[in-house]
């Protein structure tokens, strides 16, 4: 590993090239090139060979931020792959600056020959009474704020996917003792009805097999043969997969160990051997907390839900679209907006009354909710207008989905629809795709609405896309 302070370099062209590379990234693109060059003078350029570690899990921390220039880096936890950094300007290590943990909780290894710029934690320290802070501090404050915004957007989109998941509570039980594992599993099923339980022989097995799962409660014995540092790292990594952790282990008998478990965010801890009553009592306490949190979530979601249809309301729609726009520079994933309007709905309302009109809106809402893809968002836009947001969906695929929705509405058995002007109750759809048709939300919505208007003019019960109008 070779480290060269950039402050000793005199070639301005080198700084132009390096600054240009990282300025193309999401985090640095809004920072003036002169500030980036000033930032670079505070760093060290470091070259890593393939399979060489920048950071080793469980080793003493060396707080540094690494900005990738070339190559590919893998972030691992207990040998489980978490993410890959492969774009110039990608950044890792910022959490070592922000928290005070003594040990690394992840590993970062070069997958290919890689070049990074390393910035020491000393650059982020502000002296008491200082009248100004360094340009480095200001730049990285901006960058971390941007990363937080991106993370919040990603959490919203992932949360929308999870809402479609099985409503059963998800529990995981990790214990190397087969007999105890069976005993605890029996007590869980006895005390917590309608629960989905998975069992594992070791924390390593759990982490390798539950990568895409979000566990409501993890009951675990990390293994008494490990050091407390290893146990701590196991718990910290497991917290990324579980909302709550309950430790049942012989090392929980020690008072100091229980204090540490509490500091690490463990919800419950019991010492082995564990009486059935104590286990059941702790389990029931977590069950009550789980359902209380679920109910609170329902209340929160109600503020984002249209009461009549059960679809997302305008507020949630706006936040969802904003999240997709926020992530676009990072993921380069197009998304499509489909707006629909019930044809001749006023005639239906005037003829059969608003109560029957509400029945129609509920029926169409059910079609939208049940026929869109997992992770899509269906919302009531207002009156008899609906919007469906299709993440990672281009115009051609969006047209196909909109056509399926159109046919489903036309074929739905709706009361008195034979008295409609078109024979059946139908809907017209307009489609626009970001950024192909528009690179801002307001224009995107207008393009889709223009398509809807054209569809109404051409006879209704059709799908019109912005790409078709422009061609």
Give the integer Cα–Cα distance in Å for 137 and 184. 51
**Distance separating alpha carbons of residues 14 and 471, to the nearest angstrom:** 45
Q: Are 28 and 83 in contact (CB under 8 A)?
A: no
pLDDT in the model for residue 165: 47
Distance CA 350, CA 368 (A): 24
Cβ pair 65, 94 in contact under 8 A: yes
Cα(133)–Cα(409) distance, integer angstroms:
61
Per-residue pLDDT tens, the chain, 471 aa: give them.
Answer: 678 888 777 666 678 888 888 888 877 887 888 888 888 888 899 999 988 999 888 787 777 889 999 999 988 876 667 778 888 888 888 777 666 667 777 889 998 999 999 988 777 766 665 555 566 777 777 777 777 788 788 878 877 765 544 568 999 999 999 999 999 999 999 999 889 999 999 888 888 887 667 889 999 998 767 777 788 888 888 887 888 999 999 988 888 888 888 878 899 999 998 999 999 999 999 999 998 888 877 776 677 899 899 999 999 999 999 999 988 887 889 999 999 999 989 988 888 999 999 999 999 999 999 898 888 999 999 999 999 999 999 999 999 999 999 999 999 988 887 777 767 889 999 999 999 999 999 999 999 999 999 999 999 999 999 988 765
pLDDT score recorded for residue 181: 93
Backbone angles phi, psi at 52, to 5 degrees: -85, 140
Q: Cβ contacts of residue 94 below 8 Å, gap of 6+?
A: 65, 140, 143, 144, 147
H helix intervals, 101-134: none
pLDDT at 294: 83
Query: What are the structure tokens assigned to 61, written together?
Result: 């921390």
Instruction: Please spell the DSSP secondary structure of 250-280, one letter per residue.
Output: GGGGSHHHHHHHHHTT-SEEEPSS--HHHHH
What pLDDT score does 99 carry? 65
Q: Do the beta carbons of residue 317 and residue 381 sit within 8 Å?
A: yes
What residues does each domain of the chain span? 2-157, 170-302, 314-470
435: nearest Cα among 318, 315, 341, 321: 321
Q: What class has domain 314-470?
A: alpha beta
Q: What are phi and psi of 423, to 5 degrees?
A: 90, -55
Secondary structure class of 382 (helix, strand, coil): strand
Residue 185 near residue 65, CB atoms below 8 Å: no
Bridge partners (DSSP) listed for residue 80: 77
pLDDT one-digit tens code per residue, 316-359: 999 999 999 988 887 889 999 999 999 989 988 888 999 999 99
Q: Which CATH class is domain 170-302?
A: alpha beta
In angstroms, what CA-CA distances link 432 with 116, 391, 426? 40, 12, 20
Answer whether 259's CB lies under 8 Å from 237's CB. Answer: no
Give the CB-side neighbour count of residue 306, counting CA atoms within 13 A: 25
**Which pLDDT score, from 0 to 100, does residue 133 have?**
54
- Strand partners for 115: 47, 70
Query: 2-157, what's its fold?
Result: Jelly Rolls (2.60.120)
- Asked if the domains 170-302 and 314-470 are classified in one and the same CATH topology, the answer is no
pTM for the full predicted model: 0.61
Residue 195 vs residues 93, 238, 280, 410: alpha-carbon distances, Å: 38, 20, 15, 39
| CA–CA dist 464, 399 (Å, integer) | 8
């Amino acid at each position: 590993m070779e480290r060269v302070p950039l402050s000793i370099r005199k070639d301005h062209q080198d700084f132009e090239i390096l600054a240009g590379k990282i300025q193309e990234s999401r985090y640095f693109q809004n920072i003036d090139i002169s500030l980036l060059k000033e930032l670079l003078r505070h760093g060290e350029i470091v070259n890593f060979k393939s399979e060489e570690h920048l950071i080793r899990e469980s080793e003493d921390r060396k707080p540094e931020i690494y900005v990738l220039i070339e190559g590919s880096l893998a972030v691992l936890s207990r040998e489980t792959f978490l993410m890959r950094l492969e774009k110039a300007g990608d950044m890792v290590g910022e959490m070592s600056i922000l928290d005070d943990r003594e040990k690394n909780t992840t590993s970062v290894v070069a997958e290919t020959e890689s070049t990074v710029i390393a910035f020491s934690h000393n650059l982020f320290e502000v002296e008491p009474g200082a009248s100004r802070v360094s340009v480095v501090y200001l730049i990285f404050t901006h960058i971390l704020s941007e990363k937080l915004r991106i993370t919040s957007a990603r959490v919203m989109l992932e949360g929308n996917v999870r809402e479609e998941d099985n409503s059963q509570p998800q529990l995981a039980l990790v214990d190397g003792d087969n007999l105890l594992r069976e005993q605890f599993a029996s007590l869980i099923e006895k005390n917590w009805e309608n629960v989905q339980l998975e069992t594992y022989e070791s924390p390593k097995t759990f982490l390798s097999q539950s990568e895409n799962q979000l566990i409501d409660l993890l009951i675990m014995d990390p293994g008494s043969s490990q050091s407390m540092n290893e146990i701590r790292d196991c718990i910290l990594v497991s917290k990324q997969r579980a909302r709550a952790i309950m430790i049942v282990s012989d090392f929980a008998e020690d008072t100091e160990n229980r204090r540490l478990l509490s500091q690490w965010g463990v919800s419950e801890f019991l010492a082995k051997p564990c009486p059935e009553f104590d286990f059941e009592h702790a389990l029931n306490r977590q069950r009550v907390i789980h359902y209380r949190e679920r109910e609170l979530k329902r209340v929160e979601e109600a503020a984002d839900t249209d009461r009549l249809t059960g679809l997302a309301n305008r507020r949630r729609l706006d936040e969802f679209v904003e999240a997709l726009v926020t992530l676009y520079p990072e993921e380069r994933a197009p998304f499509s907006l489909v707006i629909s309007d019930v044809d001749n709905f006023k005639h239906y309302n005037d003829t059969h009354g608003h109560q029957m009109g509400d029945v129609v809106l509920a029926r169409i809402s059910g079609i939208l909710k049940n026929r869109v893809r997992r992770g899509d968002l269906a919302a009531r836009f207002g009156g008899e207008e609906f919007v469906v947001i299709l993440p990672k969906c281009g115009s051609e695929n969006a047209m196909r989905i909109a056509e399926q929705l159109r046919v489903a509405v036309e074929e739905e058995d709706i009361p008195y629809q034979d008295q409609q002007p078109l024979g059946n109750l139908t809907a017209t759809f307009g489609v626009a795709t970001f950024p192909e048709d528009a690179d801002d939300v307001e224009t995107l919505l207008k393009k889709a609405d223009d398509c809807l208007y054209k569809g109404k003019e051409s006879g209704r019960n059709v799908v019109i896309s912005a790409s078709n109008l422009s061609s």
